[in-house]
Chains A and B, each alone.
Chain A
Amino acid sequence: MTAAPPVAAPSAATPAAPRAVFDWFFALAGLGVVAIYVRAIYFTPIEATQGAAQKIYYLHVPAALAAYIAVSLTALMSIVYLWLHDERADRLADASAEVGLVFLTVVLATGPLWGHKIWGAWWAWWDMRLTLTLFLWFVVAAYLVVRGAVEDAAMRARFSAVLGILGALLIPFIHLSVYLFQARLHPMPIVLKPGEPSLPGEMLTTFLLAFLAFAVLCLAFIGVRYRVGVLRDLAAEAIA
Chain B
Amino acid sequence: MSPLVSTAQASPVASWGTYHVAYALVAAIYLWYTLWLWTRARRYRRAIDSAKPSSRR
Q: Which residues of A contact B44 (CB under 8 A)?
A: 228, 231-232, 234-235
* Chain B residue at smallest Cβ distance from A101: B33
Contact A52 B18 (CB under 8 A): yes
Per-residue 0/1 for B34-47: is the Cβ within 8 Å of any A Cβ (1 yes, 0 no)?
00011011011101
Contact B7 A53 (CB under 8 A): no
Closest Cβ of chain B to A92, distance in Å, is 15
Closest Cβ of chain A to B19, distance in Å, is 4
Provide the main secondary structure of the chain B interface.
helix
Per-residue 0/1 for B2-25: is the Cβ within 8 Å of any A Cβ (1 yes, 0 no)?
111111111011111011011101
On whether A113 and B51 interact (CB within 8 A), knowing A21-B41, A217-B30, A228-B41, the answer reads no
Contact A105 B29 (CB under 8 A): yes
Besides A46-B9, A200-B1, 12 other A-B contacts (C-beta < 8 A): A45-B7, A47-B6, A49-B12, A51-B16, A53-B22, A117-B15, A117-B18, A187-B4, A221-B33, A221-B37, A235-B43, A235-B47
Residues of chain A whose beta carbon lies under 8 Å from any beta carbon of chain B? 5-7, 17, 21-22, 33, 37, 41, 45-56, 59-60, 63, 102, 105-106, 109-110, 113-114, 116-118, 187, 190, 198-200, 202-203, 217, 221, 224-225, 227-228, 231-232, 234-235, 238-239
